A = this chain, B = another copy of it.
Amino acid sequence: MVKLTYYFVREKIMAKTKTLYFGAGWFNEKQNKAYKEAMDALKLNPTVDLENSYVPLDNQYKGIRVDEHPEYLHDIEWASATYHNDLIGIKSSDIMLGVYLPEEEDVGLGMELGYALSQGKYILLVVPDEDYGKPINLMSWGVCDNVIKMSELKDFDFNRPRFNFYDGAVY
């Protein structure tokens, strides 16, 4: 049993982990489905430190979501703090992850990708298997370092991030 403990610990030490910014929308059913699938995959990925990663939905100022509290739509303090917090999420994480739906591209994710580029982050897009190959925007294509399928996310080695082209169309 002592030996068992020893090996288990050793394995834990070997498994370096990376933190990431979880760029994903939550505004419709399709987005919510992809959101959940990506999150589940990350929980299984031994190279991810999910506990210290940044999830925008969990970090809105004072815990207020504008979709539930429309009275904050014109609140400069709320907007400014939430925006600033998201930038911190990107700059203080190791990886920029974008859950990307080719038919529902999002301007907010676009800006986050541009910011992540400026902060020197590895940028990975994850596309649901059924959408992989569909045309994506030229700027998203150019800014990212790799595009993988959702089913590949749980095994992606974030300790050895590498380049690859999107195996699909770009418009």
Chain A interface residues (CB < 8 Å from chain B): 1-2, 5-6, 8-10, 12-13, 16, 49, 52, 59, 61, 66-67, 73-74, 76-77, 79-88, 91-92, 94, 105-122, 135, 137-143, 145, 159-165, 168-171
List B contacts of A92 (CB < 8 A): 94, 120, 122, 161
The SS class assigned to the A binding surface is: helix
Q: Is the CB of A115 within 8 A of B112?
A: no
Ordered by A's residue number, 12 sampled pairs between the chains whose C-beta atoms are within 8 Å are: A16-B49, A52-B159, A61-B163, A77-B165, A79-B142, A79-B170, A81-B164, A91-B121, A108-B110, A110-B110, A110-B113, A120-B120
**Which of A9, A13, A86, A111 has most B Cβ within 10 Å?**
A111
Residue from B73, B138, B162, B168 in contact with A135 in the complex, judged by beta carbons closer than 8 Å: B73
**Which of A79, A107, A171 has most B Cβ within 10 Å?**
A107
